[in-house]
Structure 1
């Protein structure tokens, strides 16, 4: 009777938490701006194909399905992924219930099953899965289908289990290149002990494996048709394949994101499972091998692989596979440690959901404009789209929108429901493996002639380029399209996210490169504490025409005019390609009188007027005024 009551309580807790989290995710998903990768998957979905340069086809197909049903908006894009994400904890419950089957009326297995499902909801990365339209969602779904099928086949190989395995393998193959690692670890897990090897001797197992292998065909064919561009990016271009100690941080990040105590419980569960400790020793060993093996493999890979882009989610498939073992392991821990594990996991999920709530609020994002973790990939796309709509209304109907990188092209395309925005060559296109796909769509413009004889609205993501490389980027745009006219500047969150809009003529113009202004505030430093009256100093130049006036702003309001034109020989020495005719007289100083503004955080900026009449608002930096 006691176990039956515990099982009911565990089930009730799971249902309440699962329902609450699902509702929160739905609300946040309807407000959260589209992440850059989501926008590109939407664009892929509008160019339906069996496979793409960066991924197999399933993520794009789901994005297409979602928007076909609910329209081109963030809910339409995400609802299929929300459904799959909501199903994951239920799959964990199903798997754990098989692993902890009741014996002689003992309902402890039911308690552990519902607890495992609850842990799947609370696991910070897992609990937020489905909030974004990303390939990790169907890949996690496929992994759990395969884990469930494997656990069933360890008990008895039957057609239903083989069919589930085939479905999981096929969905995984259509989700991501990375699923190949899950397949490899799973195969090794079956080879590692006699019962698993017995399963591999059954012809139904091999039929399922064959179906899973066939599902890789579209990706293989795409690579054969495109000089292995996708494989080279995934396996060669993005990875240094040299040992680097940064991989040690991968373990730390995994422990923090899974929450340390839950991560320790998973490690303990893997060790216990390896030694066959569980309701079914064959299944316990199987979960330990496939879950622990996947986590360890990706953690070791971190010492040799790409450490520039986000990779902390790689181990998620392995963590899910370990969850069915964790409740029985926690039952061996002291009561205080068990409670701390649950509380810390819940706090981790709240923190992750809280992050997305902050990101979905423009006001909250602006408060963190100076923070290192500023969510640039979520920020500013709606304001940019509004500016583009406004500019396009003033231009001839035949004007073509051109983006300087795939991020701007995909996000603008999603906002304007225009999937064919041309994109210029940019390091980001290659860095993220999107250049080959843009080439396939004939959207990568290598020269002005490929854009046609029509006016252009060029949209440049200035904040996507490292500042020391920004002037070189402007000159590359001049080489490609001709001198750049005065831009319309779109600053979001004090300029942390910055876009420039140029009205380009129908024909490429000749002449010396004119470019947007470049500037810097040397003093006061960002986040400095200053009095109401303080000295400011820096430099500014504008290639092709020069600077006529520099004004200092505080919270967007002009508070002083700088003394511009002072000598600074070091600027030309660093920016060697600059052709501003005023070099080396490009420095400025100003006396700023803040007047009656309240003490506290304020934003210092510049308004730069060029000799061609252009006015550009420079990004602001924070400072604190003290009495």
Structure 2
């Protein structure tokens, strides 16, 4: 068994055993309060509303992502109705599922003080802006996070039993099922599966699994869960794969040495530089106990493969920080002793607390940049949709046969969400999921009520109609400043291009 000397273990071990769980529970309570405020007061972000509309148009898969999250959103709608609470209800379910795994890990990593370890683990996790945000916002990520954590947990239980001569194949197949569901939620969960391959390869006691048929049957189970995605892409001309591999890149791929550095810098900001420092210490230290050693090796495999792939991709194209979320997902809850020393822990808490307050103000009160003369359309365009929706509904009473549209996919989803209409569409040159729902030919000759803004103007949609008339210019205000300025138009005589 891997061991560590008392002198090496004493600083963190003593700090942990002397501490009660209550101070850390109170600190975690602060972040949970922020999460609750965001969940129940924050305006729907464009992609949140977009995925909600996916659930209203059930399909085997979707253009941007696999279908599992949309399917579950439709289930939530059927049970709890169409409202803001329903939109983010699943984020609490997946969050609680993650906490159940964290508690199990705390009992194994700190059997003498599991409660203190658990609450410190939760503080570290929630103080990371990346994980506070992605476990609260109803993107596909929150579901993928819970499934990845659950799959990794059962893989570790399987490995534990295998190494002591017990088979435990049930845990292997359960891990494979959750992995398959994670990939059915978001494609980048595939890095967990690649991490399992590396885990089996680099851990000598697990190498015999490459000769075991159950390993391949479990892998086939994960792949079989993707059949809805495979079939949808087959009948839709590989639409999702073409989008991710070619269409989403705005220009030709060019080698850049600066882009990977920027990617790392942004990753440090969203994870927390102090947590990143603690993770570096975690990698440098010898783990205490077999479970800690096994979990560290799995986390290292996943982190290395995912991060290396993203750095290579970032050398040629724009890569968003959340694409690499799987890399650090296992590390933060496992690195509690390395991040949890007094000065690293409290600096991480201060950083995370400040970022959490900034996040909730930015999303629920006013866009911070707009208040200081900058303009962030992505955040600004989440404001004012209740008011915009009321104006659109008033116009629709006068033109009941007109369909409703906007000039971009996120605004179409936000408007559709607030007026409870799943048939609002985006008339945009950008290829998106609305292209699979909207039948231009069936709407030929009809009028439309269109919402556009200066960032995504009416120009593209105007060319599809006989005439366009502005009806109302709106100004969404916060603290006396205009943060969003959409215009409502009445478009006459829809004339879509003739299909080639």
Task: Bin the TM-score by the shorter chain.
Answer: 0.7 to 0.9
CA distance in 2, matches of 1:285, 1:366: 41
Question: CA 1:397 to 1:207, structure 2 compared with 1: closer, same or farther past 3 Å?
Answer: same
Q: Which has the larger radius of gyration?
A: 1
Q: Among 318, 321, 328, which residue is 2:337 paired with?
A: 328
Shift of 1:180: 1.6
Q: Among 131, 137, 149, which residue is 1:132 paired with?
A: 137
2:242 corresponds in structure 1 to 232
CA distance in 2, matches of 1:217, 1:113: 38
1:46 corresponds in structure 2 to 56
Q: Among 262, 269, 288, which residue is 2:282 paired with?
A: 269
Alignment partner of 1:483: what SS?
Answer: strand
Alignment check: 8 A CA contact 1:93 1:117 kept? no
CA distance in 2, matches of 1:270, 1:373: 38
CA distance in 2, matches of 1:231, 1:136: 19
| Aligned ranges 1:19-34 → 2 under 5 Å | 19-34=29-44
Alignment check: 8 A CA contact 2:468 2:492 kept? no
2:267 corresponds in structure 1 to 254
Does 1:57 find its partner at 2:44? no
Alignment check: 8 A CA contact 1:7 1:114 kept? no
Q: Which runs of 5+ in 2 are unaligned?
A: 1-9, 163-167, 496-500
CA distance in 1, matches of 2:494, 2:150: 56
Instruction: Tell me how large the CA RMSD over aligned residues is.
Output: 2.9
CA distance in 2, matches of 1:52, 1:367: 34
Shift of 1:234: 1.3
Question: CA 1:79 to 1:224, structure 2 compared with 1: closer, same or farther past 3 Å?
Answer: same
Alignment check: 8 A CA contact 1:10 1:114 kept? no
Does 1:497 find its partner at 2:484? yes
CA distance in 2, matches of 1:191, 1:21: 39
2:125 corresponds in structure 1 to 120
Question: CA 1:151 to 1:507, structure 2 compared with 1: closer, same or farther past 3 Å?
Answer: closer
Which protein is richer in strand relative to its size?
Answer: 1
| Aligned ranges 1:274-289 → 2 under 5 Å | 277-280=287-290, 281-289=293-301
Which protein is richer in helix relative to its size?
Answer: 2
CA distance in 2, matches of 1:364, 1:241: 33
TM-score (norm 1): 0.68
| Aligned ranges 1:509-548 → 2 under 5 Å | none
Question: CA 1:489 to 1:181, structure 2 compared with 1: closer, same or farther past 3 Å?
Answer: same
Q: Which has the higher contact order (CA 8 A, sep 6+)?
A: 2
Deviations 1:322-344 (A, max 9, x none): 1344233357xxxxxx3232122
Alignment partner of 1:462: what SS?
Answer: coil
| Aligned ranges 1:409-558 → 2 under 5 Å | 409-426=412-429, 429-430=430-431, 434=432, 437-443=433-439, 445=440, 450-464=442-456, 474=459, 476-493=460-477, 494-506=481-493
Alignment partner of 1:485: what SS?
Answer: strand
TM-score (norm 2): 0.84
CA distance in 2, matches of 1:28, 1:425: 30
Question: CA 1:377 to 1:210, structure 2 compared with 1: closer, same or farther past 3 Å?
Answer: farther
CA distance in 2, matches of 1:111, 1:366: 38
Does 1:404 find its partner at 2:407? yes
Alignment partner of 1:128: what SS?
Answer: helix
Q: Which runs of 5+ in 1 are unaligned?
A: 332-337, 466-472, 509-627
CA distance in 2, matches of 1:305, 1:250: 11
2:324 corresponds in structure 1 to 315
Shift of 1:139: 1.1
1:155 corresponds in structure 2 to 160
How many residue pairs match? The answer is: 470
Alignment check: 8 A CA contact 1:270 1:322 kept? no
CA distance in 1, matches of 2:332, 2:390: 45
1:381 corresponds in structure 2 to 385
Alignment check: 8 A CA contact 1:258 1:345 kept? no
Alignment check: 8 A CA contact 1:124 1:345 kept? no
Alignment check: 8 A CA contact 1:95 1:151 kept? no
Alignment partner of 1:458: what SS?
Answer: strand
